[in-house]
Amino acid sequence: MDTGNLGILAGIVISLGFFIMIFGVIYLNKREKMAMIERGMNPQSYKPQPAPYQNLKWGLLLIGAGLGLFLAYLLDRTVFMSTENENEAIYFGLIAIFGGLGLVLSYRIEKKELYDSDNRKDQ
């Protein structure tokens, strides 16, 4: 199969996949609303719940991943004295570790805020 035919085939497959994805999302959304109506619920009254700490969670995750990437770069260039990318595992490992630490920090902040707000209600 030459590259011309492969490009045409890829265009057809991508277009079909996009159409099927859009159709599936709309179909499942309408089916969910119909199931709610059958159970006597009003689909208009159920709106997505606000997530007040979502920005904090994403911010701390990205800061942690950035710190992990920066620390991996520094370790790669100074401690391991590598001029080529021979230590790829350290990059992925430190991104995961610091990203996870960012998520744990976000959890602790949310938990502390929730605990403090419960104590204020009791007083």
In this predicted model, what pLDDT tens digit does every residue of 34-63 receive, in sequence order?
999 999 988 888 777 777 788 889 899 999
Same domain, yes or no: 58 and 40: no
Q: Which candidate, 52, 66, 59, 69, places its Cα nearest to that of 103? A: 59
Burial 33-62 (b: 16+ CB within 10 A, else e): eeeeeeeeeeeeeeeeeeeeeeebbeebbe
Q: What CA–CA distance (Å, rounded) separates 105 from 113?
A: 12
Structural domains of the chain, count: 2
Same domain, yes or no: 8 and 28: yes
Same domain, yes or no: 25 and 77: no
Same domain, yes or no: 40 and 79: no
Same domain, yes or no: 16 and 40: yes
- Indicate yes or no: pTM above 0.85: no
Q: Does residue 123 register a pLDDT over 70?
A: no
Same domain, yes or no: 10 and 40: yes
Q: How many CA atoms lie within 13 A of 16 on its CB side?
A: 6
Same domain, yes or no: 68 and 14: no
Give the model's confidence band at 26: pLDDT under 50 very low, under 70 low, under 90 confident, else very high: very high
Residue 75, exposed/middle/buried by CB under 10 A (0-12, 13-18, 19+)?
middle
Q: Does residue 85 register a pLDDT over 70?
A: no
Same domain, yes or no: 35 and 8: yes
Average pLDDT score, the chain: 86
Same domain, yes or no: 58 and 38: no
**Domain span including residue 89:** 54-122
Tokens for 22, please give them. 């859009």
Same domain, yes or no: 40 and 58: no
Same domain, yes or no: 64 and 86: yes
Tokens for 31, please give them. 């089916």
Same domain, yes or no: 107 and 59: yes
